[in-house]
Structure 1
Amino acid sequence: MQNNIGNDEKYYNEQDKINIIRMREVLDTLPKFCRQFFRGIEPTTSARTRLGYAYDLRTFFEYLHSQNPSLRKIEIKDFSIGILDQIEREDIEEYLEYLSLYEKKDKEITNAEQGKKRKMSALRSMYSFFYKAELVTRNTAELVNMPKLHEHEIVRLEPNEVATLLDQVEAGDKLTKAQLRYHEKTKLRDVALLTLLLGTGIRVSECVGIDFDDIDFDTNGLRIHRKGGYNTVVYFPEEVRTALIDYIEQRKTIIPEEGSENALFLSLQNKRITVRAVEKLVKKYAQNVTTLKNITPHKLRSTFGTNLYQESGDIYLVADVLGHKDVNTTRKHYAAQDDANRRRAAKMVHLRENK
């Protein structure tokens, strides 16, 4: 990977700094003993993961503060670690029930299965840490079952829908007059971005962090920063290569804002494009292709994963390319494809020749 723009700090390092600053702000609202927990898990977690845990634990302690008459008299940051031993299994079960629907600052907040599971994971992690450190006598959170996640059918684009999507991005068909005003300026960027997502299966957070020096056209390799905090190289097909080269020719003529000089994908404001902007971009084009499916960047990732699995039949390859640490995660998502393969295998076996 050649570094053509200098030694600008990587996007993910900047994001880590932002997350660390936010983390300090959230820590000031949590019980003081939580600092020991976050110091303890720092070597094995990313700044983003710790920040997510901090937000989720804050919700838990706010719940205790609002629901428990004796704790209501104490500021949350003054809670002692002893309250963890006082909490019963039923208290945590009631907390999970509370998460289904509650109000905060006059705003109604709901949590489905996934949201409850994430908050429960944070609680379990904290209890486990203090239990192993022998600072609490009971690991109460471990006694509560994790919320069951119901399997959802994979939503993805069919091959004809993928072709229609990319054709529409190029032509600007069905865009409103307001959207068409910017289409000529963003067309090459949008084609390159969507082709890249569909052709590699990378996450939208990985996509927005790509710099010029992350691309190697000699090998069709792309260096990305994975969700787990490590760097890896994925490879892209010729169609992605062509779309990237076309866009980069235009990108070289754009003067970016300070701090975005090395960013591959820029917004209309000539700053590094954001995750939210890519989500809106995908929605804008996809709603003209299908109204029955809610297509998001993650659904484009599912489309790639399904296509790769149908072509290769190799679940381990799909897990590796998608960056899943556990192949069972991949297998769970593509179970329907497994069934289709098994049905196809049944038709391949012939015990006697047809008479």
Structure 2
Amino acid sequence: MALKYYEQIDRDNTKKLRELLDELPYFCTMYFRGIETTTSSRTRIAYARDLKIFFQFLIHENPLYKDYSPRDFQLEDLDQLSVTDLEDYLEYIKYRTDVFEDKHGNKIEKEVINSRTSIKRKVASIRTFYRYLYRDRLIKTNPADLLQMPKLKEKDIIRLDANEVADLLDEVENGEKLTRQQQVFHDKTELRDEAMMTLMLGTGIRVSECVGLNMNDVDFNNDGIHIHRKGGKEVTVYFGDEVENALRPYVEWRKHQVTAPGHEDALFLSLRMQRMSVRSVQYMVKKYAKTVTPTKHITPHKLRSTYGTNLYKETGDIYLVADVLGHNDVNTTKKHYAALEDERRRSARNKVHLRSDDE
């Protein structure tokens, strides 16, 4: 029996994690086993890569460990590190030079400059790592708790305006502004592209949730799709008439297609008759969006933000938006839509009258 999309992703990520762990100290395996139930496989891979950079930093920058390999580190070594050492690491990851091997085995130096968001994630990785080891009394000190998280400048949420949504869907339907080469492919993918774009704009689902859909996940009787959320939660997300009108013709077409082996259940197919990848959808969204709004960097996540904005404007219910978008913490939703909340509060200033107009 074929694995579901998210099961296959988890299996592939587990293999990648095992490869990374082969290059890390033995106690890292204990750590990842300990956080398995509270993190996604994708998050664990990101943490493992961050730890690899951390140990490489110690080897390259700290004279005590110049003869070490990452596998040589012991728990006692972590206890010798101070908050100053970790602050040096924080400075190191802002800008560094890494050595990579090309496909011919040649070593190439590459400059790596991390954004504040990336640095914050790497600091969080170290703090989580230390906190776990300290909590389980595997180390005696926890200098990582004294590390200051870098402050991030709040970014404006980029979203599509109502007229831009309409223009985008029109472009997906007719492809008039695409290049001549793109129009050749558009004739073959119009039905699929319109179904995917309308679905994402009309439900706010994540791109990974969209490409992970199987044929039997679509329920036209109840106007819903069954999706697998981050963290393993399975839910039904409901769609309106516009989504149904775009989805039905594609599903009908899809029923008669012969797929590549292993992709029989996939809802959205590439021209190779394989399940669409996240990268392919990202490219598709970018292709259409830049013909409609070239000054905005529109990604699948921006389509999700557009839906969340529209839903909040229509309902004014931040808890409903959080639930539909699949946010575990409503504060995450409030953070994203704080500007809209302020706009609503401003609109209330003249709603209550203290004296009647005829006095």
TM above 0.5, yes or no, is yes
Aligned to 1:207: 210
Q: Counterpart amino acid of 1:169? A: V
> For 1:42 and 1:153, how far apart are their aligned partners in 2?
33
State percent identity of aligned pairs: 53
> For 1:64 and 1:205, how far apart are their aligned partners in 2?
36
Q: Does 1:225 align with 2:215?
A: no
> For 2:230 and 2:98, how far apart are their aligned partners in 1?
30
Aligned to 2:258: 255
Aligned to 1:164: 167
User: Per the alignment, in what secondary structure is the counterpart of residue 344 of structure 2?
Assistant: helix
The partner residue of 1:15 within 9, 19, 28 is: 9
Aligned to 2:67: 73
Deviates more, 1:20-29 or 1:31-40: 31-40
Q: Does 1:266 align with 2:253?
A: no
How do 1:139-218 residues align onto structure 2 when only pairs under 5 Å count?
139-218=142-221
Give the drift of 1:333: 0.5
Q: Does 1:41 align with 2:44?
A: no
* Higher RCO, Cα 8 Å, sep 6+: 1
Q: Counterpart amino acid of 1:158? A: D
Aligned to 2:130: 127
> For 2:52 and 2:292, how far apart are their aligned partners in 1?
41
The partner residue of 1:244 within 238, 247, 250 is: 247
Q: Mark the runs of 5 or more structure 2 residues left unpaired by the alignment.
A: 100-108
The partner residue of 2:92 within 88, 94, 98 is: 98
Give the drift of 1:209: 0.4
Aligned to 1:3: none
Scaled by the length of structure 1, what TM-score is found? 0.96
User: Per the alignment, in what secondary structure is the counterpart of residue 224 of structure 1?
Assistant: strand
Q: Counterpart amino acid of 2:141? A: R
> For 1:197 and 1:109, how far apart are their aligned partners in 2?
33
Give the drift of 1:329: 0.5
Q: Does 1:114 align with 2:117?
A: yes
Summarize deviations over 1:89-141 as a string: whole Å, max 9, x none. 12212211221211112122121121111111111111011111111111111
The partner residue of 1:58 within 33, 52, 56 is: 52
Summarize deviations over 1:286-334 as a string: whole Å, max 9, x none. 0001121100001000000000000000000000111111100100000
Deviates more, 1:97-106 or 1:311-320: 97-106
Q: Mark the runs of 5 or more structure 1 residues left unpaired by the alignment.
A: 1-6
| Root-mean-square deviation over aligned CA pairs | 1.1
Q: Counterpart amino acid of 1:273? A: M
> For 2:37 and 2:305, how far apart are their aligned partners in 1?
31
Aligned to 1:333: 336
Q: Counterpart amino acid of 2:53? A: T
Count of residues paired in the alignment: 349
User: Per the alignment, in what secondary structure is the counterpart of residue 75 of structure 2?
Assistant: coil
> For 1:146 and 1:119, how far apart are their aligned partners in 2?
10
Give the drift of 1:280: 0.4
Q: Does 1:286 align with 2:280?
A: no
> For 1:158 and 1:227, how far apart are their aligned partners in 2?
28
Aligned to 1:83: 77
Give the drift of 1:70: 2.2
Give the drift of 1:252: 2.2
Q: Counterpart amino acid of 2:237? A: V
Give the drift of 1:76: 0.9
How do 1:282-321 residues align onto structure 2 when only pairs under 5 Å count?
282-321=285-324
User: Per the alignment, in what secondary structure is the counterpart of residue 223 of structure 1?
Assistant: strand
Q: Does 1:353 align with 2:347?
A: no
> For 1:207 and 1:109, how far apart are their aligned partners in 2?
32
Aligned to 1:28: 22
Give the drift of 1:26: 0.1
Q: Does 1:323 align with 2:326?
A: yes
User: Per the alignment, in what secondary structure is the counterpart of residue 230 of structure 2?
Assistant: coil
Give the drift of 1:253: 2.9
> For 2:167 and 2:112, how far apart are their aligned partners in 1?
37
Q: Counterpart amino acid of 1:46? A: S
Scaled by the length of structure 2, what TM-score is found? 0.95
Q: Counterpart amino acid of 1:303? A: T
Q: Counterpart amino acid of 1:65? A: I
> For 1:247 and 1:312, how far apart are their aligned partners in 2?
30
> For 1:159 and 1:117, how far apart are their aligned partners in 2?
34
Give the drift of 1:61: 1.0
Give the drift of 1:53: 1.1
